[in-house]
Amino acid sequence: MVHQSLNARRRRLLLAGGAGAALSACSSLTLLPEAAPALRPAPELLDGVPAAPREFRAAWVATVANIDWPSKPGLPAEQQQAEMRAMLDQAVALKLNAIVLQIRTSADALYESALEPWSEFLSGVQGQSPGYDPLALWISEAHARGLELHAWFNPFRARPSAAKSGPAASHLSQTQPAWVKRYGDQLWIDPGEADAATHTLAVFADVLRRYEVDGIHIDDYFYPYPVQDPASKTEIDFPDEPAWQRYLQGGGTLTRADWRRRNVDELVRRIHAQIRQIKPWVRFGVSPFGLGKPALRPPGIAGFSQYDKLYADVERWLSEGWMDYLAPQLYWPRAQTPQAFAPLLDYWRAQNPQGRHVWAGLFTSRITDKPESWPIEEIEAQIALVREKAPGSGHLHFSMVALTQNRRGIADALKSRAYAEPALVPATPWLEADAPAAAQLALATEGQVLRLTLQPGAGSKPVARYALWLRRGGAWQFHAPAGSELRVAAEGVDAVVVSALDRVGNESPRLALTLER
């Protein structure tokens, strides 16, 4: 029962701005009349409350060739949606906090688009609507579960090897055939075609303006991986001669390799600048091949050069700050010396003068039912290495299907060990520096259950989620509720700490309260 008026209690309430911070008066407590234990402000508790656990925990959901979702083309919309919800439920059960969903596999769309045709990996026919907007539903269902949704685009691929459907009339291969080149058994948008780059930027901008994505993401497909001539066994050069000749005739002086790198550099720079202009809180992530420039690699590291073959100067992009997070594909086991996981993680972290996020890409799908499968301990050990070398950073699993299928018990192992506690996405303060106002709390009892309802503070900037700590038996338990309400067992809870987080992860001042029963 409440023994004093709400107004009197509000006048007494103190808000603590984190351990050691100054205190200021605030009205951020609401008691539901006759329904809650008495609450007492307790800023002295804040010195003992641990920091909010931070770690980017994500999985890629690949739609090309139906790798992850939907499980095959042509499924009824209801079944596609059921598979989506099962994946998202598994992500929540694992305490992941983000999904990276592939929405443009090959100049196509897994969302309503006036610029590009529907992906064939939905209906089986390019250009045919699945009867709903998958991206819109993925976003709403992910956000309802407290998960971020990052939209993953392939900027240059126009037709993958796995494609079976004929091209839609609105596909770039039909409307702009001069931009699209056949290379091996695939089609590629020529990065040297200026109008093609403008079109690709328009696709990104369209998604940014119409959908509430948390991130924009591109992977390792820039210029295509080299293809060999079957007869001569020599590498076939990418067929960009028309664009190259126009560059030379216009007075260009770069070598062909440097010109190609400049084409990719410019697209990455412009994507980053466009995001900052349209929705500056949306994070931009790049997931490149995991080996850096040959001239800079650690001793003993060897293998394919994306700098020389994909024309991707990833080190430059990171140095210039043209991204908010780098997720290098570190798809090798720790013991594979020429591509060893730990030295490569160290390498990419060292190429980071702007202090951007570096989150390791893990090849979790190497866990299979086949004899050559990786043991689940390899992935667990790689997560442990990331935590040891870069506490509070993060990692991404390729791909979600391995976790959904719980291959060799990997999901169970992660639930019980590496992901025993929830974690918040690391903050990105260079996008927005100011924190939201302290959260408001309403608390009620429902039998043996405490119901905690959180709201933004008065005049607060947009709040994306909340953090909450409960003290039982002298120990603090951390919660990251999916929405604004949390129900927990009331037994033993004698103190509560709450805070609000903005859309880039900045944490508000914390409010500490004790419960008087």
Q: Are 210 and 178 in contact (CB under 8 A)?
A: no
d(CA 24, CA 498): 16
Residue 18: per-residue pLDDT: 34
d(CA 513, CA 515): 7
pLDDT digit string, tens, across residues 101-150:
999 999 999 999 999 999 999 999 999 999 999 999 999 999 999 999 99
Percent of the residues in the chain that have a pLDDT greater than 70, as a whole number: 93
Cα–chain-centroid distance for residue 153? 12
Phi, psi for 440 (deg, rounded to 5): -95, 145
pLDDT at 257 over 80: yes
Sign of CA dihedral 343, 344, 345, 350: positive
| Pick among 3.10.20.90, 3.20.20.80, 1.20.120.1630, 3.40.50.300: CATH of 56-416 | 3.20.20.80
Report residue 345 as tokens: 């993680």
Q: Are 208 and 282 in contact (CB under 8 A)?
A: yes
Neighbouring-strand partners of residue 108: none
Neighbouring-strand partners of residue 470: 477, 496
Backbone angle region of 11, left / alpha / beta, with phi > 0 → left and psi within -120 to 50 → alpha: alpha
d(CA 32, CA 404): 41
Residue with tokens 């295509």: 224
Sign of CA dihedral 267, 269, 272, 278: negative
Confidence of residue 174 (pLDDT cuts 50, 70, 90): very high
Range 240-262 burial, b when 16+ CB lie within 10 A, else e: beebbeebeeeeeeeebeebbbb
Confidence of residue 25 (pLDDT cuts 50, 70, 90): very low
3-state secondary structure of 10: helix
Residue 459: per-residue pLDDT: 85
Residue 43: per-residue pLDDT: 86
d(CA 355, CA 288): 18
Residue 21: per-residue pLDDT: 30
Sheet with 485-489, edge to edge strand ranges:
29-31, 440-446, 449-455, 485-489
Residue intervals in the chain for CATH 3.20.20.80: 56-416
d(CA 341, CA 352): 18
Sign of CA dihedral 37, 43, 45, 49: positive
Least trusted range by pLDDT, from 105-119, 146-160, 193-207, 457-471 = 457-471
d(CA 95, CA 416): 11
- The predicted model gives 458-463 an average pLDDT of 89
Confidence of residue 36 (pLDDT cuts 50, 70, 90): low
pLDDT at 93 over 60: yes
pLDDT digit string, tens, across residues 285-343:
999 999 999 999 999 999 999 999 999 999 999 999 999 999 999 999 999 999 999 99
- Helix or strand (DSSP H, E) at 446: strand 440-446
Q: 24 vs 18, 462, 511, CA distance in Å?
A: 12, 21, 11
pLDDT at 5 over 80: no
- The predicted model gives 382-394 an average pLDDT of 98
pLDDT at 394 over 90: yes
State the number of CA atoms in the 13 A half-sphere of 329 facing the CB: 16
d(CA 348, CA 343): 9
| Nearest of 72, 51, 101, 22 to residue 499 by alpha carbon | 51
- Helix or strand (DSSP H, E) at 20: none
**For residue 448, with 0-12 CB atoms within 10 Å meaning exposed, 13-18 middle and 19 or more buried, which class applies?**
exposed
Residue intervals in the chain for CATH 2.60.40.10: 6-53+431-516
Q: Where are the alpha helices (DSSP H) in 303-460?
A: 306-309, 314-320, 341-350, 376-389, 400-404, 410-416
The mean of the pLDDT values for the chain is 92
Confidence of residue 453 (pLDDT cuts 50, 70, 90): very high
pLDDT at 23 over 90: no
Residue 16: per-residue pLDDT: 32
Residue 66: per-residue pLDDT: 98
d(CA 465, CA 477): 17
Residue 40: per-residue pLDDT: 82
User: What does the CA dihedral 490, 491, 492, 495 come to, rounded to 10 degrees?
Assistant: 10
Read off the pTM.
0.93
- The predicted model gives 150-178 an average pLDDT of 97
Topology classification of domain 6-53+431-516: Immunoglobulin-like (2.60.40)
d(CA 188, CA 286): 19
